Amino acid sequence: MRGSAIGLRTTLAYTLIMLVLPALVLAVEYKVTRVIDGDTLVVQKGATSLTIRLVGIDAPEVSHKKYEPGQPYSQQSTKHLAKIALNRSADVKSYGADRYGRILGEVLVDGNNVNLEMVKTGLAEVYRGTPAPGQDVGPYWRAEEEARKAGRGMWQLGDKYVSPREYRRMNLPR
């Protein structure tokens, strides 16, 4: 019991630090332990586990029902994120938290911006809402335009492409 209480306090301390100090790269190196979908993963350092929502991007929606495939390219997006990040060491640059308590962050693996990589491969688009304060989204828009012109990933769908935001509006309960 005592160990779990210490772990909980450590997790809360890291979360508070990441919320209070936006655009902060913690010197702590995390390990990516789980990929939830194409724009969300879990990192861990010791007893501290944080859910990271990749800031500045929006990946195709996975299904929350057992036998439904979800949005086109959702599975490819999730698999690609796992390929480039899972079980790897990562630094997290925090931009605060979202309404679900997840850390909004840029994840760097071997010095490479994982968020930007997802957009470059056409497996995520630039987030269409208000950008996180302090985040430079210019490289993201350039990467999306390049992926779209090259027909990479979800951009192969052409006129049949539906943004994750629109897909959620049409398919997910409110």
CA dist 163 and 156 (Å) reads 13
Residue type, position 131, single letter:
P
Region class of 103: left (phi > 0), else alpha (psi between -120 and 50), else beta: beta
One-character DSSP codes across the chain: -HHHHHHHHHHHHHHHHHHHSSSEE-SSPEEEEEEEETTEEEEEETTEEEEEEETTEEPPPPPSSTT---STTHHHHHHHHHHHHTTSEEEEEEEEE-TTS-EEEEEEETTEEHHHHHHHTTSSEE--SPPPTT---HHHHHHHHHHHHHT-GGGGGGGG---HHHHHHHHS--
Residues with catalytic roles: 53, 61, 102
